[in-house]
Amino acid sequence: MEKIKNLKQYFNKDKHIIFKYIAAKFWGPFLFSLGVFAVLVFVADTFENMNVFVKSSTGFFAVAKYLILTIPYWVLTIMPAACLLGCLFVISDMISSGEWLASIASGYSIKQIFLPIILCVALVGFTNIFLQEFVSTAMFKKAEEIYQVDIKGKKDWSIGLHRNVILRLSKDKILTAQTLDVKHKIMNRVVLDILGEDGKIDYQLDVDKMVWNNEIESWFFVDGVKRTFDNLGGFTEEHFDEKPSKITFPPNTIAVTTLDPEFLTIRELLGKIKFLKVLGISNYKEKTYLYHKLVTPLAFIIICLLGMPFVVLVRKANKMVNVIIALVISFGFWWMMSVTLSMGEMGYIPPILSAFLPIILSSGLIYYEFKKL
């Protein structure tokens, strides 16, 4: 009781002191949990691919490079569980040390105690989005290329290589290409048909390749011929070395094949959605991916709010129980997210609802937990 009395006096000195104190307590358990979970997942992934590594004729450095490049992806993947575990450790530690009772006795509400932790979690959530957008996705793409080309020996494989591309750019423009190489920003053996009002070809551009120009953000035709057709079925040809086009869709936004969300940034998704809209093609899948990425910070907060009141209600839980709680809540929530993601991909529910439905359902449970508190 004397310890609680001293803590009460300490917290009463400055109303901001408990905010700083609790926020500081979060980072230690969070970083420790993040490191432990990252190592476990990293080791599991290594052993899962061990058979491929052993059979590969590539050297040790290619395998090591692949494993290193996947680290950011795995770290960001397990961040929600690490956040939740950090929150649970802070609350349970405050309860066991008497700091919780001292805080309540000093006039602080449960919401005031939870607030600094939630703000820390929100910061982690926004950091997660930033790292996915500018670091993790690019490294994961490079890792996949090393895995497929160097380790598995698929020399003609490329994450951005698409074959036999057919695009209806508008009502009167149809483009076909033998290959689209997103990495090198080039299309090979391209034919662009311009149709007249009667549906017949007015003229055609048959080129060796199309190259993306970063400066003017447009495609250029290189080494081709322009065929102009007449009403009698004949045509004339005009050769050219280079000709600008009015096609302004960047290479990485031309969606001709399905990619996993892990390979797409928010910027790429926005570009693909715009591109598909112009083509008149359904973009349910891309919109679903986009909304699920955008709700990441909110999802982090919801996961933690699901677990924190539970620890207060079950005050005698030890740290092992906290770990189990964190894993169950995290996997349960992300399972719900994966189910609604699939439903959004297939068009069963609106894309925005697929992202927010688990959050809405979880909010009801959170409200019930706070009422119990």
Helix (H) or strand (E) holding 254: none
Residue 103 — pLDDT band, cuts 50, 70, 90? confident
Mean pLDDT computed over 36-50: 89
Q: What is the average pLDDT value for the chain, to the nearest integer? A: 87
The type of residue at 201 is: I
More reliable by pLDDT, 54 or 223: 223
Given a cut of 90, whether residue 330 has pLDDT beyond it is no
Q: Write down the domain spans for the chain.
A: 2-153+292-372, 161-257
Q: What is the pLDDT of residue 12?
A: 53
Q: What is the mean pLDDT of residues 163-184?
A: 87
User: Residue 249's CB: how many other CB atoms inside 10 A?
Assistant: 20
Strand blocks (E) in the chain: 161-170, 173-181, 186-195, 201-213, 218-229, 235-244
Q: What is the pLDDT of residue 146?
A: 92
Task: Return the bridge partners of 162, or none.
Answer: 180
Instruction: Name residues whose C-beta falls within 8 Å of residue 302's C-beta, 6 or more positions apart in sequence.
Output: 333, 358, 359, 362, 363, 366
Instruction: Please report, as a single letter, which amino acid is at residue 110.
Output: I
Residues 122 and 55: their CA atoms lie apart, in Å, by 43
State the pLDDT confidence band at 256, using cuts at 50, 70 and 90. low
Q: Which residue has the tokens 């006039």?
A: 107
Q: How many residues does the chain have?
A: 373
> According to the model, what pLDDT value does residue 259 have?
62
Residues in contact with 126: Cβ distance below 8 Å, sequence separation at least 6, in sequence order = 297
3-class DSSP state of 101: helix
Percentage of residues in the chain having pLDDT higher than 70: 93
- By C-alpha distance, which of 344, 335, 230, 243 is closest to 290? 344
* Confidence (pLDDT) at 8: 52
Q: Which two tokens stand for residue 281?
A: 């093609």
Instruction: Say what the alpha-carbon torsion angle 30, 32, 37, 42 is, to the nearest 10 degrees.
Output: 130
318 confidence band (pLDDT: 50, 70, 90): low
Cβ–Cβ < 8 Å for 358, 336? yes
Band of the pLDDT at 336, cuts 50, 70, 90? Answer: very high
**Would you give the DSSP letter of residue 279?**
H
Indicate if the pLDDT at residue 7 is higher than 60. Answer: no
Mean pLDDT of 192-204: 86
Model confidence pLDDT, tens digit, residues 221-249: 999 999 998 877 778 899 999 999 988 88
Give the model's pLDDT for residue 323. 73
Strand extents, DSSP E, 57-185: 161-170, 173-181
Per the confidence metrics, is the pTM higher than 0.85?
A: no
Whether the CB-CB separation of 277 and 253 falls below 8 Å is answered with no
Residue 168 backbone dihedrals phi, psi, to 5 degrees: -95, 95
pLDDT digits (tens, 9 = 90+) for 137-150: 999 989 998 999 89
CA 160 to CA 183: how far, in whole Å?
6
What is the structure's pLDDT at 346?
A: 85
Both tokens assigned to 125: 């959530």
Q: How many CB atoms lie within 10 A of CB 184?
A: 12
Average pLDDT over residues 333-355: 92
pLDDT at 172 over 80: yes
DSSP state of 185: T
Confidence of residue 190 (pLDDT cuts 50, 70, 90): very high
Alpha carbon separation from 181 to 97, 186, 226 (Å, rounded)? 60, 5, 23
